[in-house]
Copies of this chain bind each other. A is one copy, B any other.
Amino acid sequence: MSVERTLHHFPLDPASRQVRLALGEKRLPFAETHVRWWEQPDDFIALNPSGVPPVLVEETSKGRLAVCETRAILEHIEEQNPEPPLLGRDPAERAEARRLLQWFDRKFDAEVSAFLLHEKMEKRLLGYGAPDLANLRQGREALRHHLRYIEHLLAERDWLAGRRISLADMAAAAHISVIDYFGDVPWNDVPVARTWYMKIKSRPCFRPLLVDRWPGMAPAPHYHDLDF
Contacts and interface: CB of A to CB of B under 8 A. Distances in A.
B91 A80 contact: yes
Contact of A68 (B68, B75, B99): B99
Nearest to A109: B106
B92 A75 contact: no
A91 B79 CA distance: 9
A49 interface: yes
Interface string A13-56: 00000000000000000000000000000000000111000000
Given A91-B65, A92-B65, A98 B72 contact: yes
Contacts of A99: 48, 67-69, 72
A142 to B, nearest CB: 13
Nearest to A66: B95
12 contacts: A49-B149, A50-B107, A65-B95, A68-B99, A69-B103, A71-B101, A72-B95, A72-B101, A72-B102, A75-B94, A76-B95, A76-B98
